[in-house]
Structure 1
Amino acid sequence: MAIASTVLLSSSFRSLPSPPIPNPSKGDRAFARYNQNLFYNKFLHIRRFPSRENSCSNRRFTLFASMVGRKAMRRETVIPDPDYRIPAVLLGLAGVLVYKDNLLSDAPVGLLGLLLLFQTTRVRFVFDEEALEVKVGDQLQESGENVFVGGKNRWKYSTFVNWELWWPEFPILVYFKETQTKPEGQVHFFPVIFNGKQLYDVMVERAGPSKTSGPKQSS
């Protein structure tokens, strides 16, 4: 009986005629309610189908969010700390040579130690988003043209063919070969007057792992 009543009610509901449009000339309130319902239905239709302006705004917001996300993923600039061990060793060796009255060998060793000491205070390796650049001074000014091979002292990581760090326990020289200066490859040598561990880590991250040298990875 309950099921039959439900079916009858639903059938009678479907068969109900559409309500007539009120006549505004009669001055009743039904016409006002009809206009309110009509406005409400149009509002739902607008919300259900957004306009072109809303779609453009959504696309602009998506593009902005994507740009912010890419910017957040950018790698930070890394500048290894200066390391005075090599100049200190050279100047100490020069002192030993002076003590042993070996002035002929003392002069070049002492001069090299003083030169590296001066360079340690001013030269910096700057690893930015896309390249390694040699800069000088506290304000990190450009170092100008390379005195040996020409061109700026700035090389993109994508042009690195190989690099080496001699020697892992007490790094003295860093070597790398790049194809930016010459298509066939240009070799560079620099004394390690920077923190060797920091230098190694950032070189691995930006230029890829070295083929033969570098600190052994701890297991």
Structure 2
Amino acid sequence: MASALLSTGLFVPLKNRGETGGFCLWNSRSSIHGELLSKANLVKREISSDARGRLVIASVLGRKVTRRETVVPDPDYRIPVVLLGMAGGLAYTNNLLPAAPVGLLGLLLLFQTTRVRFVFDDEALEVKVGEELQQSGENVFVGGKNRWKYSTFVNWELWWPNFPVLVYFKETQTKPEGQVHFFPVIFNGKQLYDVMVERAGPSKTSGPK
């Protein structure tokens, strides 16, 4: 039994290696171990992306594991610019009372556009902040991490297709009966719609034009 587990040429005389007398342990791997190592050598570290942007990685056993690439939609400043323009127009016509809240909202969204990012990884949507994509902490309204798995999405909508303003989605991760979220679309609406369709399924709304 022991000899069957050992590969051939296990012991090589030292004189064959320029030495005199005795034997040297030349190859102590068993056939099973050697087979595992040979399979391990087949692992491919090359990562290629297909037409849908998915990453294909060869596993140790030769099976392919498909992972989708991380997508971060570009920031879009149209909404804060429009709000600030409206505030300026209201102030110009001496409508200071409505101009103040509209202007403050525009400034808030302008600031948020520079720092907040939607990060779509292989399994979940996560809200992160900054160029380094740091953690955003707990949700200030419902608690918990600002990260929701696509598998828990019940429905989502993008209003409105021609000029996306709000994105809505409902998920069951936060609470079983479902939790609704609204976010201003301060990202590229087309990129946001396309990745939501791919990761969370189709929506009743049409894509932005």
Q: TM-score, normalised by structure 2?
A: 0.73
For the Cα contact (< 8 Å) 1:177–1:186, is it kept in 2? Answer: yes
For the Cα contact (< 8 Å) 1:164–1:214, is it kept in 2? Answer: no
Aligned partner of 1:193 among 168, 186, 193: 186
* Structure 2 residue matching 1:81: 3-state secondary structure: coil
Residue pairs, 1:99-178, within 5 angstroms: 99-178=92-171
Aligned partner of 1:213 among 189, 195, 205: 205
How far apart in 2 are the matches of 1:184 and 1:109? 34
User: What whole-Å deviation, never above 9, does each CA across 1:65-85 have from its counterpart, x for those lacking one?
Assistant: 4348645x3111000000000
For the Cα contact (< 8 Å) 2:162–2:208, is it kept in 1? Answer: no
User: What whole-Å deviation, never above 9, does each CA across 1:11-37 have from its counterpart, x for those lacking one?
Assistant: xxxxxxxxxxxxxxxxxxxxxxxxxxx
How far apart in 1 are the matches of 2:77 and 2:151? 30
Aligned partner of 2:74 among 64, 75, 81: 81
5+ residue gaps, structure 2: 1-30, 45-57
Aligned-pair identity in percent equals 76
How far apart in 2 are the matches of 1:191 and 1:100? 27
Where has structure 1 moved over 6 Å in runs of 4 or more?
none
Aligned counterpart, 1:17: none
The structure in which a higher percent of residues are strand is 2
Give the letter aligned to residue 77 of structure 2.
Y
Aligned length, in residue pairs: 165
How far apart in 2 are the matches of 1:95 and 1:57? 70
User: What whole-Å deviation, never above 9, does each CA across 1:126-160 have from its counterpart, x for those lacking one?
Assistant: 00111100001111111101010000000000100
User: What whole-Å deviation, never above 9, does each CA across 1:188-216 have from its counterpart, x for those lacking one?
Assistant: 00000000000000001111111x21317
Flag the 1:53–1:111 CA change in 2: closer, same or farther, 3 A.
closer
* Structure 1 residue matching 2:59: 3-state secondary structure: helix
The structure in which a higher percent of residues are helix is 1
Give the letter aligned to residue 184 of structure 1.
E
RMSD: 2.1
Aligned partner of 1:96 among 76, 86, 89: 89
How far apart in 2 are the matches of 1:172 and 1:95? 20
Larger radius of gyration: 1
For the Cα contact (< 8 Å) 1:166–1:214, is it kept in 2? Answer: no
Flag the 1:216–1:116 CA change in 2: closer, same or farther, 3 A.
closer
For the Cα contact (< 8 Å) 1:90–1:110, is it kept in 2? Answer: yes
